[in-house]
Structures are given as structure tokens and as C-alpha cells.
Chains A and B, each alone.
Chain A
């Protein structure tokens, strides 16, 4: 379990991360999302004790990373920038790392096999492709058989096979009960891998939610309905015999179906399709003024959320100038 509490990092007069608090739980893959420059890497470096927070703190389990007597068995990390001496072989890089914790040679060979590097283990890292470098970083992260795994943009530079491999690996690590935090600037990638999302922009927390919830709110798979008899429609849609609970004003949830009221008579329905809504309305004689299936994609929803937080937004004016 990773806990960030009011994490703040300032470099000179530039604040990179501001009052960031979130929790990453074991047994799930948590996606750490944000546009480039949002502060993802800085946050991860603070969690790992490489950067000292200006304010706030991060803990792994019950204490700060640096306070663990055997940090590599607690947390395995892949940082965005390559962190290997290019003149050393993959094997010796891992072996030197293993020595600090008294990890045996057999474990080094095991992680080399696990990441498919056995054949190139005795080649110097300077000749490695981007993908092989990423695999070596992941081998180093798994070396201590850690309970928590932190990966910064692991799919960057990987071929489709490598991307698939990472996806499967992350899911299996979480299935083993580990805490997995993985950063990305691609919503679509996270939607396939993550269960939970922590979204930041310009160093601030924008959303801390489940993927399912994010998808539901994103508008993908929703239907917009305008009707003068909203309350009746809602009652029929949420099915007879089902208790409708109100968890926020104008926000009704029933198993499978969610209805949000934006304005009087304007409903956003999730969990069913336009055909079902149309038939239900017709069966009960409820007039509909509008029945529109939503088309927003996950990526659009993500961009909406982070729109104001993009560091260098591309503008047409800028391109023309």
C-alpha cells in the first residue's frame, strides 16, 4: 500500500506537484495518469526517496521508503529515464544490485529469464534497444520479489508484443496480491490494464476513481434523454421492485442503470441503450423530446478532464503563427 499525503515539490519558484494525496491499494493495478509534465515522475521519485518533498510525505506500508531495512523487497521500481551504466552487462548490473540485499545469483538468473533477457544477459547494456532496456528495468524492479511495484511509463518504446507482455505482467502481479502503480499519459492504455485511476494535471489531483466509474462518467455508452415526465421514466427504467437510492442530488443509482439529471427534464442514462429506453417510454406512454446515444470516448473524457492542465497545449493559432 502506497500513501501520499499532501505531497508538494517546488524547484525554485516552479511548483511541480501541489498537495497531492492518494492511496494505492494492494491487489489492484492503479494507473497514474496525466499529460506530460503533470508531475508523475516527480511524484514517483518522491515516493522512492530520490527527491525530498517540499511538504508532505509518502509512505510504503507503515513507513517511508528509505526507512525500510530491505527496500528492494518492499518496492521494485522502473523509472522513466534509463538508470543503468551502459558499459556493464545486464547480468552484472543486476548482480551488483542484488549484492546490496544479499539476493542470490539464482534470483538474478530467474528475473533475467522472466523478462526474456537470458540470451543477452552478458551483452553490455549500451547495445540494448529501447525495449530491451525497459525489460532490464523491469527485471531490476522484480529482483527483490517486492510487495509493491512502481513503473513509470513502462510501455514507452515497446513493440506491440512488449506492450501485451507488460499488460499481462501487471495484471498477474496484482493478482498475486501486490500493489501496482503504473504511470502513463495514455488513457486508452490504462483502460485496458488498470482497475483504479489516479489522474493528475499540473501537479494537482484531478480524479481518484475506478476505471468503471471513470468510464461511466466519461459519457461513453450513455444516452441523453429529454422528457417532460422524467420522474416516471426514471422509475420505469430502474425497474419495478428495485430500490432507487439517491447518493447525490439528482443522481439516482440502481443496479446496472444510472440516471443523472442535469437540468429539469434532461437525463443522462448509463447502463442501458437507446432502444430499451425508447421501448420503455412507449410502453408507458411517456413522450420523449430527445433520445441521443453518447459518443464521447475515454480519451476525450481524459482530455476534457486534463484540458486546463496541459503544459503546452497545441493551438491552431500557434501552428499558424
Chain B
């Protein structure tokens, strides 16, 4: 070994932190299982629903929403992946190694969010683009029949992928704030599934209005080929989800800077 005091070609750069996080993501077996499961469940559910549909109508459910019902699993799966990327490092102790290598801390958070988004977005996009025509093969001559070129369909498929990606980033932020896998998953499920359901029961118009801005409702608005009249417009829904993700990341950044590792 030679002493490294003379020459130091190595230094931490954002690109290198990205590369490190990319390497970390793919060298854990659960990442592969999670991503394959996410894709297969969406595809399988889409095809299964298409094959089982008897054409009796689904209360006017939007075609893209109908075909992509399997992405319900993705909202949980991908969120867990995001939470594992941050809170998971605290439970294993890996965070101490990570933050010793990058003591400025924030580049790690940005890199984790970027890596996960770069994986989730194409995965969801390709899965959706594959699921739709496969499911539609069973749906010709039903009221759910639609083509990729129909108005709003491609936008719905892409919008759903974008929404899932932003939810993943939001979950990653929750994991970094709570530093606990169970608490982060609990908070995420509460926010995405339980709280809006409870709120809609309340007999106040203002609550109904507010519920539209919750993540799952915005995801639904973004997925629909023809958004319901009382739902957010796709543009507003995308902005809403981007804000959820941004607020969560900002909270994560602030926690990371202030608290001890």
C-alpha cells in the first residue's frame, strides 16, 4: 500500500453517487423480485380481467383504468421499493457506510430518487403499453373496447406510469423522514388508501374537493382516458403528484441535514 497523501485522483461527484446508488439497487435480490412482480401482476391482472369480462358493463369505468387495475399492486410494490431504498438503510446500518462515503448527505437522497425514478418510469410505461393491447385482445365488441390510438388512451397509459413513479419518489421521501420501514409503509398506506376513504364519508363539500388532491385520487385522474367531470384534469393531477413527491423529498432533505445519522 502506498500512502495517499501525494495524489488524490478520487473525489465524490454527483455522477459517482448516482452510479453507486444504481449499483446498490441492482445488487439486492429483492429489487429484482419486486420489479418482476410489479410488472407481472399488472400484466396478469389486465389479461385476466380482459378474459373474464362478460361485457355486462362496469358502471362506466374508464377503459384504461379498467385494464390497468393490476397497477394497484404497483402502487404498493414500488412504494415498498422506495421505502427500502431509504428506511431500509437505517434498519440494516448500511446508512452509516453510505453517509461516511458521502458526508454531505443530500447527494445521496437526490441520487436515490433519480435512480428509482429512472427504473420505475420505463418499467411502468412498458408494462402498461404491453398490458393494454393484450387485455384489449379479449375486449373486442364489449363496451370496454378501445385502441391505443383512441383519444386519451396513450396519455392515460403514460400518465399512470408517471403517477406511479411520483408515488415511488414520495414513498422514498417518507422512508427517509421516518427511518423505519413499518412506519413508512403505514404512513404511505394511510395517506394513499385509508385517509381519503374516511374523508369522503364526511358530509362536507370542501372535504370532497380536497380529497381529489390526494395521491391515489390524482393517480386515478391521471390514468383515465376520459377524466370524470368532478375529477382533476390530467395536468392538474400530474402537478399535484409532483408536489406530493417534492414536499416529501424536501421533508426528507431537511431531516437528513438536521438529524444525526
Residues of A within 8 A of B (CB): 45, 48-52, 65-66, 68-73, 77, 79, 81-89, 92-93, 95-97, 99-103, 114, 140, 142, 144-147, 176-178
Contact A97 B20 (CB under 8 A): yes
SS class of chain A's interface: helix, strand, loop or mixed? Answer: loop
Q: Is the CB of B93 within 8 A of A83?
A: yes
**Known contacts A96-B20, A100-B101, A101-B10; A147 and B4 CB within 8 A of each other:** yes
Q: Which residues from 1 to 15 on chain B have a C-beta closer than 8 Å to any C-beta of chain A?
A: 1-5, 8-13
List the B side residues contacting A83 at CB < 8 Å: 93-97, 100
A-B contact count (CB 8 A): 118
In the complex, what's the smallest C-beta–C-beta distance from A2 to chain B, in angstroms? 15
Determine whether the beta carbon of A77 is less than 8 Å from that of B100: yes
Closest to A99 in B: B20
Q: How extensive is the interface on chain B, given as a class?
A: 35 or more
**Contact in complex: B12, A70 (CB < 8 Å):** yes
A177 with B93: CB separation less than 8 A: no
Q: What is the bound-complex CA distance between A5 and B89, given in angstroms?
A: 31
- Distance, CA A204 to CA B48, complexed state (A): 68
Whether B56 is near chain A, meaning CB under 8 Å from some CB there, is: no
The chain A residue with its CB closest to the CB of B111 is: A100
Q: Which 6 A-B pairs have the closest CB atoms?
A: A66-B103, A99-B20, A92-B27, A83-B96, A101-B10, A145-B4
- Evaluate contact between B92 and A176: CB separation under 8 angstroms: no
Which residue of chain A has its CB nearest to the CB of B99? A50
17 more A-B residue pairs beyond the given contacts A48-B103, A50-B96, with a C-beta to C-beta distance below 8 A = A45-B260, A71-B12, A71-B101, A83-B94, A83-B95, A84-B92, A85-B92, A85-B94, A92-B24, A92-B27, A95-B23, A99-B16, A102-B9, A103-B10, A144-B4, A176-B1, A177-B3
12 A–B contacts, CB within 8 A, in A order: A50-B261, A65-B103, A69-B11, A77-B100, A85-B94, A87-B29, A95-B27, A96-B21, A144-B10, A147-B3, A147-B5, A177-B5
Q: How far is the CB of A175 from chain B (nearest CB, A)?
A: 11
Assess whether B17 is interfacial by the CB under 8 Å rule: yes
* Pairwise interchain contact A102-B93, C-beta atoms closer than 8 A: no
Residues of A within 8 A of B231 (CB): none
Taking a contact as CB atoms under 8 Å apart, the answer to whether B97 and A84 are in contact is yes
B254 is an interface residue with CB less than 8 A from chain A: no
Indicate whether A85 sits within 8 Å of B89 (C-beta atoms), given known contacts A51-B260, A71-B103, A145-B2.
Answer: yes
Among residues of A, the one whose C-beta sits closest to the C-beta of B4 is A145
Q: Does B129 contact A (CB under 8 A)?
A: no
Query: Which of chain A's residues have a CB closer than 8 A to the CB of B261?
Result: 45, 50-51
Q: Is the CB of B28 within 8 A of A87?
A: yes
Residues of B within 8 A of A (CB): 1-5, 8-13, 16-17, 19-21, 23-24, 27-30, 88-89, 92-97, 99-104, 260-261
Whether B94 pairs with A84 at a CB distance below 8 angstroms is yes
Complex CA distance for A52 and B95, rounded to whole angstroms: 16
Check B23–A70 contact: CB distance below 8 A: no
Contacts of B9 in A (CB 8 A): 102
B93:A66 contact, CB within 8 angstroms: no
Within 8 Å CB of B24, what residues of A? 85, 88, 92, 96
- A145–B1 touching, CB < 8 Å: yes
In the complex, the answer to whether A101 meets B101 with C-beta atoms within 8 Å is: yes
Contact B11 A48 (CB under 8 A): no
Closest A residue to B2 using CB positions: A145
CB neighbours (8 Å) of B99 from chain A are: 49-50
Instruction: Please name all residues of chain B whose beta carbon is closer than 8 Å to the beta carbon of A84 when the two chains form the complex.
Output: 92-94, 97
Closest approach, in angstroms, between the C-beta of B83 and any C-beta of chain A?
Answer: 14
Query: A50–B260 contact, CB under 8 A?
Result: yes
Closest to A147 in B: B5
- Is the CB–CB distance between A101 and B4 below 8 Å? no
Q: How far is the CA of A142 from the CA of B30 in the complex (A)?
A: 29
How far is B12's CA from A72's CA once the two chains are assembled, in angstroms? Answer: 9
Closest to B20 in A: A99
